[in-house]
Amino acid sequence: MKLLQWLDAFTERRSRGLASQTSRRSALVGVGRLMVATAFTLPVLPFDRSSQALAAGHGSGGHKSEPTETDCDYWRYCAVDGFLCSCCGGSATSCPPGTTPSKVAWVGTCHNPADGKDYLISYNDCCGRGSCGRCLCNTNVGDRPGYRMGKHNDINWCMANDSSSFHCTTSVIVGVAEKDD
């Protein structure tokens, strides 16, 4: 009888020990498997990365989105040299508060892809405040070295104003260029 009791107790202890060890081990194995599976599957899940694409300047379909008035490659900025007033509290055609348009300006010719025409653009600086420092654009189509007087745009056009402090540059359409035949 004593032997049977001892055998019962022994068997029960072993069974319980085995059961608790097995479940702990299998739980650990399960967690390990889950971690490995997560590491392999998360990078290939279909995350929405459209905001990153937009920030990089790409719209839907992987094409670059149309330039706007705060982008250097906006068509009418083709010959600009300065900070865009559209990034400085003004717009592409108006000076920010506290500044006045320069009395003299550089005139460039830019192609408008929307209507296929070439336009004369007057790049007037806005004067009376220190440098805006935002959206510096230097596209310079038609610009020639400084010794080609009158064909060089790297000039402070505020020179003839009461204040010669340069703040930013506007881009005003002043005419349509005639076609060469």
**Which stretches of the chain bind ligand ABN, using CB under 6 A?**
81-82, 125, 154-157, 166, 169
Minimum distance from CB of 137 to ligand ABN (Å)?
10
Question: Strands (DSSP E) along 7-98, which ranges?
Answer: 81-83
**Taking Cα atoms as reference points, which of 174, 147, 164 lies closest to residue 103?**
164
Strand partners, 39: none
Minimum distance from CB of 164 to ligand ABN (Å)?
9
The residue (of 121 and 125) whose beta carbon lies closer to ligand ABN is 125
CB atoms within 10 A of CB 118: 15
Name the burial class of residue 71, with classes exposed (0-12), middle (13-18) and buried (19+) by CB atoms within 10 angstroms of its CB: middle
Distance CA 124, CA 93 (A): 9
Minimum distance from CB of 142 to ligand ABN (Å)?
14
Q: Is 167 helix (H, G, I), strand (E, B) or coil?
A: strand
The residue (of 77 and 157) whose beta carbon lies closer to ligand ABN is 157
The residue (of 89 and 102) whose beta carbon lies closer to ligand ABN is 102
The residue (of 57 and 98) whose beta carbon lies closer to ligand ABN is 98
* 106 belongs to the catalytic site: yes
* 157 belongs to the catalytic site: no
**Taking Cα atoms as reference points, which of 156, 172, 149 lies closest to residue 76?**
172
Q: Looking at 8, 75, 81, 125, which residue is catalytic? A: 125
Minimum distance from CB of 125 to ligand ABN (Å)?
5
Distance CA 144, CA 146 (A): 7
Q: Looking at 6, 8, 81, 106, which residue is catalytic? A: 106
* Positions marked active-site: 106, 125
